A and B are shown apart, each in its own frame.
Chain A
Amino acid sequence: MSTDVAVKKVSVTIDDKKVEVTPDKTVFQAAVEAGIFVPHYCYHPDLSIAGVCRMCLVEVDNAPKLQISCNTPVRDGMVVRTSSDKARQAQKGSLELHLINHPVDCPICDKAGECKLQDFYREFGLYKSRVELEDKVHKPKAKDIGTIVLDAERCILCTRCTRFTHEVTHTDELVIVNRGNRSELKTYDDGPLRNDYTGNLADICPVGALTARDFRFQQRVWFLEKKNSVCTMCARGCNTTVSVNPKTKKLYRVEPRRNPEVNKSWICDTGRWRYHYVYGESRLRTPEKISDGRVLESTWHQAFGEMKRALEDPSGIVIGLSTQLTNEEILELVLSFKESGVKHFVRIVDEQVIEERSPWDGVLKHRDHTPNAEGFARMFSMMNTKFLDCAGLAALVGEGNLRHAWFFGLEGEDVSWASRFVEALPEGVSLTLHATSRLPIWERAQWLLPAASAFEKSGTMVNALGRLQRLQAAIPRVSLARDGHAVAFGVQRGADRDAAPEARHVDLFEKLIAAPLLGREQVWKKLDPMGVALKERS
Chain B
Amino acid sequence: MPALAKEKQILLRHIDTPNLSQISVYEEVGGYQAAKKAYGMEPANIIEDVKASGLRGRGGAGFPTGMKWGFVPQNTGKPIYLLCNADESEPGCFKDRVIIEKNPHAIIEGILIAARAINSHKSYIYIRGEYAKGARILQMAIDEAYQRGFLGKNILGTGFDLDLVLHRGAGAYICGEETGLISSLEGKKGQPKLKPPFPAVSGYLGCPTVVNNVETLSTLPWILAHGGKTYATYGTEKSAGTRLFCLSGWVNKPGVYELELGTPLRVLIDELGGGLKDGATLKAVIPGGSSTPPLTPAEVAEATLDFECMAKYGSFLGAGGVIVIPEHVSLLKILETISEFYWDESCGQCTPCREGTGWLFRILKHLHEGRGTSTDIEDLKKTAGNMMGTTICALADAAAMPVLGFLKKFPDEFYAALREREGQ
A interface with B by C-beta (< 8 Å) = 49-55, 57, 64-66, 71, 73, 89-90, 93-94, 96-98, 100-101, 130-131, 135, 137, 156-157, 159, 176, 178-183
Contact = CB atoms under 8 A, between A and B. Distances in A.
B332 to A, nearest CB: 19
B362 interface: yes
A135 B352 CA distance: 17
B247 interface: no
A182 B389 contact: no
B355 A97 contact: yes
A21 B306 CA distance: 45
Contacts of A131: 359
B233 interface: no
20 contacts: A52-B349, A52-B351, A54-B351, A54-B352, A54-B391, A66-B389, A73-B196, A93-B385, A96-B386, A97-B355, A100-B359, A101-B355, A130-B375, A130-B379, A176-B348, A179-B347, A179-B348, A181-B343, A181-B346, A183-B354
Interface in B381-405: 382-383, 385-386, 389-392
B134 interface: no
Query: Interface majority SS on B: helix, strand, loop or mixed?
Result: helix
A51 B266 CA distance: 43
Interface of B: 172, 174, 189, 194, 196, 343-352, 354-359, 362, 375, 379, 382-383, 385-386, 389-392
Given A97-B352, A98-B351, A130-B379, A180 B391 contact: no
Contact of B355 (A51, A71, A98, A179): A98
B357 A180 contact: yes
Nearest to A137: B358
A281 B349 CA distance: 48
B386 A97 contact: yes
B345 to A, nearest CB: 7
Contacts of A97: 351-352, 354-356, 359, 383, 386
Nearest to B356: A97
A182 B385 CA distance: 22
Nearest to A130: B379
Contacts of B379: 130
A157 B386 contact: no
6 nearest interchain CB pairs? Answer: A93-B386, A183-B348, A97-B355, A180-B346, A181-B358, A51-B194
Residue of B189, B351, B357, B375 with highest tally of chain A CB at under 10 A? B351
B194 A182 contact: no
A499 to B, nearest CB: 61
A64 B172 CA distance: 30
A101 B354 CA distance: 10
Contacts of A90: 386, 390
A409 B385 CA distance: 64
A181 B391 CA distance: 15
A157 B351 contact: yes
Contacts of B375: 130
Contacts of A73: 196
In this complex, the member of B345, B350, B382 whose beta carbon has the largest number of chain A beta carbons within 10 angstroms is B350
Contacts of A157: 348-349, 351, 354
